[in-house]
Amino acid sequence: MGETFGARLRAAIEKRGRLCVGIDPHAALLAEWGLSDDARGLETFAMTAVDALAGEVAVLKPQSAFFERHGAAGIAVLERTVREARDAGALVLLDVKRGDIGSTAAAYADAYLHPESPISCDAITVSPYLGFGSLDPFLDAADRYGRGVFVLALTSNPEGPEVQHARVEGGTVAGSVLAQIALRNGGADPLGSIGAVVGATIGDLSEEVAINGPLLVPGLGAQGGTPADLRRLFGDVYANVLPATARAVLAAGPEVSALRDAARRTAVETSR
Ligand SMILES: O=C(O)c1cc(=O)[nH]c(=O)n1[C@@H]1O[C@H](COP(=O)(O)O)[C@@H](O)[C@H]1O
């Protein structure tokens, strides 16, 4: 097998830094950039973001919903976005938050992680809240194809704790998810390919996040998370943190140079 996602991510962070920028073409952002809220506007937005950022940042994270809302033409733009961002050297993490029963999960895994798929990504986000075992088809596909999976653990939204802080034997639901990720990453060197999503906005961190895998940390900027929150929450495991932000960088557009500058500034602020 070729290199694992964990190894490719570690190399990308060393070369480009740790920032992950979301490509989230909200209707309001399309309007701010002077673009129409249709597939043409979407394509200009996404290609501008790729042009500005895919040669710079380690990870680009398109949010599938903002493409899906434009129908088949939007999906075609997503395919192009993923392909061109990867061609320019960025790792592409598609934020699509999948999760389903085993046989259907296998089809979703094929759709996004199979090397021959039209939307073949380096990694995707998945939800473990149908039971961690339901993720096996995703985790197996990631192993087989050298791809990554980021599992929602402690999400940035205020409703998350209702499920994620619920008590189960041995701790919380989120703690159990994190422990199972750590188990799956055991022995991987330099870094496991199964990541966890932990929001910058969660307040206090009472769970063990040393999972020998990447920690995707959204919630910076528009949702109120700050670089100081990152340092406070992740001191010991900062080497594995991918700070993620979308609107705070995208709002600097549509000028390519302004977008790039915004990403560079955020990268510096979150570098440690
Ligand atoms: O999986 C994610 O990326 C994610 C998980 C989470 O807990 N919170 C969260 O905000 N996200 C995503 O991260 C992005 C945040 O965007 P901004 O708030 O504009 O930076 C959105 O695409 C969210 O869907």
**Is it true that the peptide bond before 254 is cis, omega within 30 degrees of 0?**
yes
**Model pLDDT, residue 144:** 98
Mutational pocket test of ligand 1: of 197, 209, 245, 269, the residue with most ligand atoms within 8 Å of the beta carbon: 197
Task: Please give the distance, rounded to the nearest whole angstrom, from the Cα atom of residue 1 to the centre of ligand 1.
Answer: 32
Number of domains in the chain: 1
For residue 95, the cross-strand partners are: 63
Asked whether the beta carbons of 199 and 156 are under 8 A apart, the reply is: yes
Residues 248, 17: Cα–Cα separation, whole Å: 18
Q: Which residues, other chains included, contact 139 with Cβ-Cβ below 8 Å and sequence gap of 6+? A: 149, 184, 194
Judged against a pLDDT cut of 60, whether residue 224 lies above it is answered with yes
Element (H, E) at 51: helix 39-53
Task: Please give the distance, rounded to the nearest whole angstrom, from the Cα atom of residue 218 to the centre of ligand 1.
Answer: 5
Ligand 1 atom index nearest CA of 63: 22
Give the CATH number for residue 231: 3.20.20.70
Q: What confidence tens digit (pLDDT) does each residue in 49-83 have?
A: 999 999 999 999 999 999 999 999 999 999 999 99
**69 three-class SS:** coil
Asked whether the beta carbons of 28 and 41 are under 8 A apart, the reply is: no
**111 three-class SS:** helix
Ligand 1 atom index nearest CA of 223: 18
Element (H, E) at 11: helix 5-16
The DSSP 8-state label assigned to residue 159 in this structure reads T
Q: Whose CA is nearest to atom 5 of ligand 1?
A: 155
Give the binding-site residues of ligand 1, using a 6 Å CB cut-off: 22, 24, 63, 95, 125, 155-156, 197, 199, 218-219, 221-223, 244-248
**Model pLDDT, residue 96:** 98
Q: Whose CA is nearest to atom 13 of ligand 1?
A: 218
**Cα torsion at 46, 52, 56, 59 (round to 10°)?**
-20
Q: What confidence tens digit (pLDDT) does each residue in 165-175 have?
A: 999 999 999 99
Taken in order 234, 235, 240, 246, is the CA torsion positive or negative?
A: positive
Helices (H), 123-222: 136-145, 161-164, 173-185
> Nearest to residue 210, comparing CAs of 244, 243, 235?
235
Please report where in the chains the tokens 């493409």 appear, as a residue: 67
**201 three-class SS:** coil
Using only the alpha carbons of the chain, give its radius of gyration.
Answer: 17
Query: By residue range, what is the domain housing residue 32?
Result: 5-269
Please report where in the chains the tokens 């087989």 appear, as a residue: 144
Please report where in the chains the tokens 């895994």 appear, as a residue: 109
Predicted model pTM: 0.98
Ligand 1 atom index nearest CA of 155: 7
Judged against a pLDDT cut of 90, whether residue 9 lies above it is answered with yes
Percent of the chain as helix, strand, coil, to the nearest 5: 50, 15, 35
Ligand 1 atom index nearest CA of 154: 7
The residues carrying an active-site annotation are: 97
Residues 133, 123: Cα–Cα separation, whole Å: 19
> Nearest to residue 63, comparing CAs of 5, 33, 20?
20
Q: Is the complex ipTM more than 0.95?
A: yes
Q: What confidence tens digit (pLDDT) does each residue in 244-272 have?
A: 999 999 999 999 999 999 999 999 999 97
Task: Please give the distance, rounded to the nearest whole angstrom, from the Cα atom of residue 7 to the centre of ligand 1.
Answer: 24
Asked whether the beta carbons of 212 and 184 are under 8 A apart, the reply is: no
